[in-house]
Every structure is written in C-alpha cells, then in structure tokens.
Structure 1
Amino acid sequence: MNKLSVIWSFIGRHKYWVVTVIFLLIIGVFDENSLIRRFEHRREIHALKTEIERYRQRYEEDSKMLKEITGNKDALEKVARERYLMKQENEDIFVFQKDTEKE
C-alpha cells in the first residue's frame, strides 16, 4: 500500500506534467491520427502527386502525338515503322538489340 500512496502523491504533485505527457503520447503515437501516421500519409500524398504529374506529362505527349498522327500521313507511317516494326512490301527491316548479358 506504501507504493500506491507514493504514486498518488507523485501524481498529485505533478498532475499537469503527467496529463501533458499522457496527452502527447496519445496524440503522437497511439491515436488513429497520430503524428507518425500523418507523416506517412504526407509522404504517400507526395508520391502520388509526383505520379499524377508523370501521367499528366505522358498524357500531354500522347495527345500531341495523336493530333500529329491524325493530321499527317507521314507521321502515322513513321510511328508505325518505329514502334510496331511495320514495313512496306518492298522493304526489309533490321532490328538491332543491345547485348544485355553482362560478362
């Protein structure tokens, strides 16, 4: 019973500090919206924003290419030859690949 009275007297003398420490632990660590989780969510949001920006740039490039392809027959033929390895009947295609095997 002596230890319990010592604890209660400590809490009675330092009640504001005890409440402040408990509050900071709850807010900083244990709560569903803790500071740790807020930092994790902020990092995730930043990563998603960079991914959105990358897709936006890719969309703009693809839209530009689509407008060019639909308006110009030569551009359509160029894309078909480069990307899809299409050819005219009297042509041969040579595809060069880099050696990926490291020695």
Structure 2
Amino acid sequence: MIQKVKILLEALGALRNRYLITGAIALFWVTFISDIDLIYLLRSKQTLIAQERQVVHYKHEIHALYTQLEDLSSNPGRLEKFAREHYFMKRENEDLFRIIPPPNEAHQFSD
C-alpha cells in the first residue's frame, strides 16, 4: 500500500516538471489543434498517393496512345479502319448503315 502511494507521488512529481507539461501541451497542439495537424498530414499523404497512382495510369495511357499514333501513321490500312470505325467515314459511292440496338435490349446481349 505504501509503495502504491510512493508511485503515485512520483507520478504527480513528474507532472510538476514544467518541461514535461510543455512537451505534452506542444504534442497535443501539433497532433490535434494546429492548422497542419496529424489528421491533415495523413489525409494529404493519402491524396498524394492517389495522385501518384493517377500519374502512373496516365503515363501508361499516353504511352499506349503514342503507340497507336505511330501504328496509324505508318500503316494506311489501319488508318482507314480506324477512321471507318471511330468516325464513320466512308468512301465515295459507298453506303454506310449503322445498326444501334435500343437501350433496353443492349443489356440483354452482354452475356
């Protein structure tokens, strides 16, 4: 019982130390109250990681588009196919028919 009281008094004595109190207040301030607190830093880190992933994704996408551009520039047959498929271009004296399923039937054939 006496040892418990001594431990309690030592703990209270440590609380009287002004450096410990100042350090605890500063740590609390930096962690929760400050404009750039710990929560803000963690959210910023998550945002940074997500944006770095987007950068990598867009770099891969740009590389794929450059590859496609080189292919279209070097192969006239591919260029014609691309123009016909994406921009519905046609040759002279040629008819083009587009068959578009109704919106409610489009999901039925996706299986």
**Fold shared by both chains (TM-score > 0.5):** yes
> Could you say if the C-alpha distance between residues 44 and 97 of structure 1 is closer, same or farther in structure 2, counting changes exceeding 3 Å?
farther
Question: Any gaps of 5 or more consecutive residues in structure 2?
Answer: 1-12
RMSD: 2.7
Question: Any gaps of 5 or more consecutive residues in structure 1?
Answer: 1-9
> SS state of the match for residue 91, structure 1?
coil
Aligned to 1:52: 55
Q: TM-score scaled to structure 1, two decimals? A: 0.73
Which range moves more in the overlay, 48-57 or 12-21?
12-21
| 2:100 matches 1:96 | yes
Q: TM-score scaled to structure 2, two decimals? A: 0.68
Give the aligned length: 93
Asked whether the equivalents of residues 70 and 76 of structure 1 are also in contact (C-alpha less than 8 Å), the reply is: yes
1:1-103 equivalences in 2 (<5 Å): 13=16, 15-89=18-92, 90-97=94-101, 99=103
Asked whether the equivalents of residues 28 and 35 of structure 1 are also in contact (C-alpha less than 8 Å), the reply is: yes
What is the aligned-residue identity percentage?
23
> Could you say if the C-alpha distance between residues 61 and 95 of structure 1 is closer, same or farther in structure 2, counting changes exceeding 3 Å?
farther
Which range moves more in the overlay, 69-78 or 27-36?
27-36
Distance 1:62 1:84 in 2: 17
> Could you say if the C-alpha distance between residues 82 and 32 of structure 1 is closer, same or farther in structure 2, counting changes exceeding 3 Å?
same
> SS state of the match for residue 36, structure 2?
coil
